[in-house]
Structure formats: structure tokens, C-alpha cells
Chains A and B, each alone.
Chain A
Amino acid sequence: MTIAPPSDQLTAGASERRRPARQNGRTAGRTPIGYVFVALYALLTLAFGVVPALYAVVLAFTNANGGFAGITNFTKVVGDFRFWPAVLHVTIYLVIWLIALVVFVVGLALLVHAVRVRWVSTALRFVYYLPGALAGASSVLLWLFVLDPTASPVSGLLKAFGFNSFVAVIQPGHLPAIFAIIAFWTGAGGWIVIMYGALNNISTEVIEAARVDGANAVQTAIHIQLPMLRKWIAYMGVMSLAAGTQLFVEPQLLSQASNAVVPNDYSLNQLAYQYAFQQNDFNGAAAISLLLLVVALLLSWVFVTRGGLFEKE
């Protein structure tokens, strides 16, 4: 029996899997069991993925009466005085957030992975991870407190920067950074744990070989660990980018809590929501959604093709 594979096959990172090991792989092709297993999922994909997406396309190119509208919906929303500021807000937020995420998550994962005392490493991961329990509205509420100098645990810090009131903290120029901090605080830990797991999966022999060759920790990180994390970093980038363009709950709650110092059309999604539920213009809302979709798909494509997300195929 040759069932027990060499350990590399189980532990190797992405690059290890390029070799053509699947000639005798899919022997299940003889029976149609695959159809049974995916049937329900395919149904859900149609109902809540494909059909709504196509519906958005239809809506974006038609008018309220269902007649073909060409690109008038797009020219309307792009010409909206609120559109470009929203694009700018989301873009700045994304740049800050993605850079922070990649730099700090990868850095911290490498550092924590280098910790040799087991319980310290476990405790660190847990602490970094814990804020992930507070997502969505809960974390925004918590950060409302943290950013309000009257009650904040870091009011000293806020005041040292000259922020003496809640309104001073949430000036428009600060918002992208604030939203990035909230998102990082909530989401980074999960990614650190995932990166840590990926680091654990790097074959022992590879690290050992690097060490024998005289590589120090930094060289090993740059030349061995980072390339092997590439796929996960790309994945984190894609998911975070997709999530980031959706910016909604943070500005929405901040707008509510600041008596509209933060406008309720700060982000693109809020603008789409305004179109749909305040102006009853579903076609305009669909046009914004579609624009968001195209941008996210284009950018993801770069990540996917360069990060080897799908290289199994």
C-alpha cells in the first residue's frame, strides 16, 4: 500500500502543488455523484448569486418603467455631486487599510510564529484574535466610545493630539483612517491566525535547509516564508478589498451618532442605499452596485492571477 504520502505532500505550501499528480486523481468520474453533492449549492448560487447579479445588470440599463435606458443611469449617478467624494473616501480608506493589513498582519504573524514559548504564542494569537468577536455594529459602537474624549480609555492620547471633543475627532479628514483602524482592530486577528497556520504548514525541511545554509531569521522570512505566504496574502488582499468597497455600517452609525457631521452618503454603498430607499431609484442604486462590482472584479483579477489563488486548476 502506498497510501501514506510523503509528509511534503501534506505540509507543502502552494508552490509544491504544481507538479502533475493528478493523472489518477479523479476516479469518481464514472458515477454522477458529483451532481448530487453540488445540486443544492448550485441552486443557492443561482438564487442568490447569479440571478440577483443579472437582475442588477438589467436594472442598471433600464429605467423605472422597464424600458431600455442605455447608460443614462450611469451618467446620472456619476454626475451626482455626491458620487466622486464617496469614491475618494472609499479609496483613501482602502489604501490605508490594505497597507496596514498586509504590513502588520504578515509582520505580526512572522513575529508570533518565531515565539518559541508555546503558551505565549497561543496567548498572543488569542488576544489579537479576540476583537474579531466584535464585528459590524458592535465594534463601531465600541469605537464611538473610544473616540469620544469624554469617556474614552485613551482620552489622554486623544487630548495630546488636540482632540478635545467627539466632533473634533471625527472631522472628515480623519474618517478614512478611523474606519481603517476600526476595520483593522476587528479583522486583523483572524488573518494573523490564518497566516500563522500557513506558516506552520511550511515544510520543516525547507526551513531547516535555509538555516543550514546560514540564513538568519530575516532572510528566512523574506526568501522562504514570504514567498510561501504569497497565496494567503493575495487571498487576504482580495477578501479585504471586496469587504472594504462595501463600507457601510461604520459611516452609517457614525453619521447617526454625530448628528450628521458625518454625512449619510459618505460611502458608495450608502449612496446606493440612499438611491434605493430615499429616492426610490432602484435603477440608480443598481448602477452604483454594478460599478462597485466591476471595480472589485478587476482588482481581484490582478490578485487572483498574480497570487496563484487558483493554481490548482
Chain B
Amino acid sequence: MSASFSSRPGPGPGPASGSSGVPGIASLPAMPLAPGGTPRALAMVERAEWAARAFARYDIATVRRIAHAAALAGAAQACRLAEEAVRETGFGVVEHKVVKNESCSIGLWQAYGDHDYVSPRIDEQAKILRVPRPAGVILALTPSTNPVATTFSKIMFGLLTRNAIVISPHPYAAGVCAEAATVMAQAAVAAGAPDGCVQVVTEPSVPLVDALMASSRVSLIVATGGTAMVRAAHSSGNPALGVGPGNVPVLVDATADPGAAATAILDSKAFDNSVLCTNESVLIVVESVADALEKALTRQGAHLTSPAETDAVRAVIFDGDRLRTEWIGREATAIAAAAGIRVPARTRVLITPIDLVVPEEALAHEKLLPVLALTRVPTAERGIDVARAVLRISGQGHSAAIHSRDAATVMAFGSSVPVMRISVNVGNSLGSSGFHTNLAPTMTIGTGFTGRSALTANLAPEHLVAETQVAYGSSPATPMPSFSGLDPWYAPDGPVPQYPVASNLDDAASGRSAGRGAEHASASSAGANGVAGPQESDELRDHLRRLIVEELRAMVKG
């Protein structure tokens, strides 16, 4: 299309500057309606509405075929997209992003592919028929830190539950998110998914996201990202599954194996340079094992900072108590260099000892980079108090970790620390996100009521689908018939929607809607369409034949 169609904010067909470009015109407002392609984004939601409506009637076999195709396509591009994500955002580690991208494509297929979020279930005991009903149009907000993995996982969940999804990526990662979504969207549609069931906003902006969130055509917002955005999602008037930020305390008690704990904590903290919201933030260690743990940490690639170095690191990565975004997901060695600290090249994590976990200690706040605060406590009981102090700063409802062999301590930790999931003797990055535990694997961590979210679990497909409960009277006198063999859903027999071929050209017109669900199975009577009778058609055919023959003759002569 012509450049005149740009939906970017700009002057449109007015003076090039958009204001005061023409003598005598003080200020000419920009022509487009809203910044950043908002009308296009709203058009996507309207298209998604059609897709959702068609998708909601698909059967389980087709849904599985679609989700599997998307998963394979995503996995095939895991490396390329990991490289592009790091290139575009500057966050994280390519090889770790490959792991996440594979985990969130084929990994999620392996985890959820045999679940059925589609077929009706019958509870004969309760005399209730349960019919899964997808949310409809899901607006998915994805972060810059885990752009591809979050995009993949939300699309996978959407496809498994027959929802249409519109991805609105963080502006820092808009390019790679668009690519990731397109990879899965094309594979899904090629496998039979309805056109437009996966779309991505290409020019995200704050006003655009606000407009999308306020759209009455959005059925559910799934917001993974910063607090302000999650709050906005909750305030939008639409149902929203938002999650809060993390700030993960990890307790190592006297019963823990210091070597094993050090390995788990360092691998987790170094994973993708700490961009997962589940990465450890404050290490709380019981005095009796502290020296052993510090030794093990140092041996395995951590650098323990001196008090002066701690101050220098704090000054580099924090502006007051605000994390400087330019350091998110950067290497430990780069942070050390900026702080003027000489560290071995193999250094994966900087460990900064602090005495007190309080709001004015910046290092006790969430750190999406490989810097881990460390504080010593006399007892596990005191350690639990400190873990609670970490979460008073931020991260309530999110996640925590503990390294301990004592059931009573783990029980005390689990019943006192205000989070919805705790990883035990395993790194929290991949533990609480369900990849190294048996929690539901996800990129979206529900922070529960204490974390001001209606979602308490790890986001899973089941959260994107409701069910209609068809209930018979409880009296034994009211029988429930057998529903076996009844499936309200269908397998489409071609692209959805059908290409709009003129009705007199469409040989299959009479059977075109067959298979669109039982109530759609009717057909128009043959010969009802068009104006040409059989005689006219014959004449036309003859005439065309004559024209073609003449054309061929002319070509041979020429």
C-alpha cells in the first residue's frame, strides 16, 4: 500500500511536520485518529471475535492437530527467535532463551497435549453435563524480558482451549514477538485453525494498549508484565488475569546440603541472566551453614562482594530504589566491570551481602539481573521472618524457595511466607515456573489474593476456559438420558472462513456449510442460485470454447 496509509503517528496528508509547516497555519493536528495504530489494533480484536466464534465449535481432534502444528513450528524457530530476542532487547542469554522457547512450544505440547479442554464431560452421579466454553477473545500482554517464551505459551494455551488471541507485546520486544506469533499463527491456520485466531499488534504503545484493554469485545486480558500495566488490566472493566511482580526470598537452613543448594541457586540465578520473574532475589542463610555455602557459591562461579564493592554494585544497578532497566538481563561480568570490580571471566553471579532487609536497602528489591543479595540469620525461624520482610518490599503472592531437609521448617516456611508457590531444594527460576517441579509449566505466575490477582496458580490452559453446567434435578425421580455419542463440535472441512466464491461458481455451495455443527448442517437446494439455466450454461461453454480455439489459432499464427 501507499505510504499515505501509514498508521504511525504522523502528519498524514498535511504539512510534513504535522504542525506549523505551512505559513499561516499555527498547528494542524495530525490526521490519523490515534497514535500507534490503535484503529488497526481494534480491528484485530474485531477480526478475532469472528475467529473465536468459529474456533469455539471445533472438535478435540482438530484442536490437537492445530496445537501440535503450532508447537512444532515454534520449536523449529526456537534458536533463531532466541537470537533475535537478545538482539532486539539486549536482555538475557541466547542458549537459555532457546531452552525457554522450546519449553514453551513443544514442551507445553508435551505437558498439555493429552488434556482435553474441548469435549463435554458427563458426571452421571451428579447428573451434570459439563460443556467447555472458551473465553473468546483473549488480549495477551507480553513482557520484554521473556518475549518469545511468553508469546509462545499464551498462544499454545489459547489454541488448546479454542480461544482467539491478540498479542500486545512490550514495545522493546515488538519485533521478535510479532515474528514469534506469526510463526505459530501460520502453522495453526495451515493446520485448520480459523483465520485471525492468532494476531499480534505490531506498533504497541501505552494509549493503544489502554484502548485494547477497554474494548468490550475483549473477553479476557492475560497480563504478564509490570505492575502498572497489570493494574491497568484489572481496572479496565474486562475480566483480567494479571500477575504481580516477584522478589524471591530463598532460605538455606542448617539441614541443607550447602554444595547442592549453591548449585541450584546459582544455576537458577544465572539462567537467562535472571530475567525470569521467578529468579532468586535475596538469599537468606542460617549462620551455621553460611561459611560453607559462601565457599560453595564462590567455587561455582559467584563473586562475593566486599562492602565497598556492594556499594558500587548498588550504585550501578539502582537509581535510588529503582532498578536501572538498561542493566536488566546483562552479564554479571559486565555489571562488575561497570562497578569497577575485577572478577574472574567465569563469574556468573555477583553476591552482595546486606545486613538488613528493609525498603531503603535497594539490593533487597527485585533484581532482574544476576546480582543476589545475601543476608545471614541466626535461625531458620528468624529466616522466615526475613523472607516475609523481603516480600513486604514487593513480590507478595509470587514465589519463594527453600533449601532444607527438615519437614517442619518447610511446613513453617510454606505456612508463613505469603507466596503461592515455593520451590524446595531446586532453583526457583525453573522450579516455580513448573519446568523443574511438577507445578504447571508456565510463563505467567498467578500471585493470588495477597498479590492482588484473581489467579493463584501458574497460568494453565484451564484458566482460559469456562464450562456450561447442564444440571438435572437432584431428585432420583428425574432421570438423565445418556449423552454418549453426542459431540456438539465439528471438524472443519476446509479453510475457515470459506473463500467467498460467487454462489453460481461454487459447485460445492450446497454442501458448503455442512459440518459446521449439527444445526448448521442444512443445505440450499441445488439450482436455486444464479440466473443461468442449463441451456444458457451450455451456450456459454460453447462460446468460450470457440473463443479459446480462436485464441490458440492466433497464438500459433503469431
Is chain B a partner of chain A in the same complex? no
Binding site for B on A (CB under 8 A): none
Binding site for A on B (CB under 8 A): none
